[in-house]
Chain A
């Protein structure tokens, strides 16, 4: 009670430095938690997105680029695959489902992907979850200039069934490169929290035959999404396309391919983590400096307390508790900062990739990081506490002139 009263009053007397110090600790805590959770969730969510598919077949090139292009609608396509290659693959007994996709056009910056209707009717948007349309819509029909629009695109562009649009050539929006073909929106996908939300889907033939596209490649596709009957099938096709063949790339297993992405970004994670640790150290230093400096002004108060009968250990404990309280206050702010950072980061990741992070998902680091920083704050209080502990009473009882 007495200890808490002493600490409360001291914090109030040095309110500005208390708040500034707590804010610097909050920054460290918020950064640490955000970096950790984004890293972990991004890895889990990205690799989880591949769950509906086992492999991707594409032109000879980097597997990672192929997967990012075919599944996440990022990057450029590494090249084309002849339609006959798709037919050969889909007729292979070890393949459960093969769906071709074609890319190369956009509408106001959002990618247009040509595919077959069985993508929606036979494949899954995410493991255990079928594609579903918002009420009032229907799937497009192959052979018609119709489109099904991902939920994110529909929301951003305000598209609804019955609306029409004219695609633009290329993956990036250029107002001068509009096609003549006009498409009618037949349905809007329900949000699936997958990259499918960020795409406008049209019939494969529609994209292949878009006005202005090369006649030589009219039947080609950009990639083939593959669902296998077994893991052994993956090894067989890996051998067939990657080791024996030299025209095509078979990206399998997808988790391993995507792990390369995170391995490549590992240094970035480490830099961010290092920055967060440095901020934490600086913040702990500021706790130390703030309390240590305030002790000069409080020498007389401490001497008065001692003269009234307060034991040295109480003075020591009050300083440690003060440092701990600043750190604890900082950690309350850190959770708020974490929510802000995660809200912003998840919005950016969703806008760029369609992958949705959950800022409110439980992660042990949300408790471990604040606890560690509170302990660090308490440790930062030890040196000032020792100084307060050894504050000579008689010398400091008289007011400073």
Chain B
């Protein structure tokens, strides 16, 4: 059974001129437990929207998202929040660390909405990503690469079944990007988490055994391109 199964997922946004602009129109997509998939696509083709729909941050206009046995499109908002915290780890392109909280607190916060804050695990994860000596540092006191690693630790803290990574290496230099990508994939593999990683970096895409193009998956994207 697939960990993630998407059917006829559609999402449109209203433009300032009142027209409906289809952004996501994916007839079908499946992801197995522990599988690592790279998703490519040019800017503006709805990659982030697609991930946000899977995470339940956005709701689709129609279609189904079956995630770990729960239909995200029929769950109430609190249940979606709960399911997201329990099943998904999200790595954002801009890391989205909370600036007023230390590295350790950022990881603990991520855990507290899921199974519960576990200080020992949070520490060991930060040590695992090489930040054992930066536990009490605030994000602004870290380099971009270090912030990225905190975001990785936070996303994996709850041992999620699915990690969504939205261009996680987009803000990093090539060396840091390669190291970060390796770390994400390694940790996901260690924990048995599936990984759906969005990138438009050919080097990143090339390293994945399964690659999908959102432009191919997404009928809306094709329509937009055709326009």
Contact = CB atoms under 8 A, between A and B. Distances in A.
Nearest to B154: A308
Q: How would you classify the secondary structure of chain A's contact residues: helix, strand, loop or mixed?
A: helix
A88 B201 CA distance: 115
B78 A2 contact: no
A9 B110 contact: no
Contacts of A2: 109, 112-113, 117
Given A2-B109, A2-B112, A301-B99, A307 B57 contact: yes
Contact of B109 (A308, A393, A397): A308
Interface stretch (A49-57, A309-317, A342-350): A309-317
Contacts of A236: none
A398 B86 CA distance: 23
Interface string B64-97: 0000000000000110011011100010101011
Given A307-B90, A397-B92, A13 B100 contact: yes
Interface in B13-32: none
Contact of A308 (B78, B85, B100): B85
Interface in B30-53: 49, 52
Given A309-B81, A311-B78, A9 B113 contact: no
A5 B110 CA distance: 13
B85 A309 contact: yes
Nearest to A5: B105
Contacts of A304: 96-98
B15 to A, nearest CB: 15
Nearest to B157: A308
Contacts, number: 65
**Could you say which interface size class chain A belongs to?**
20 to 34
B58 interface: yes
Interface string A264-284: 000000000000000000000
Nearest to A9: B100
A12 B100 contact: yes
Nearest to A10: B100
Interface in B178-196: none
A295 to B, nearest CB: 14
A399 B94 contact: yes
Which residue, A309, A311, A313, has most C-beta atoms of chain B within 10 A? A309
Nearest to B102: A9
B77 A307 contact: no
Interface in A293-312: 300-301, 304-312
Contacts of A312: 77-78, 81
A394 interface: yes
A56 B98 CA distance: 75
A338 to B, nearest CB: 33
B55 interface: yes
Given A394-B58, A397-B92, A306 B81 contact: yes
Nearest to B92: A397
Interface of B: 49, 52, 55, 57-58, 77-78, 81-82, 84-86, 90, 92, 94, 96-101, 105, 109-110, 112-114, 117, 154
14 contacts: A9-B98, A9-B101, A301-B100, A305-B98, A307-B92, A308-B85, A309-B86, A309-B114, A311-B81, A312-B78, A394-B57, A397-B57, A398-B94, A399-B94
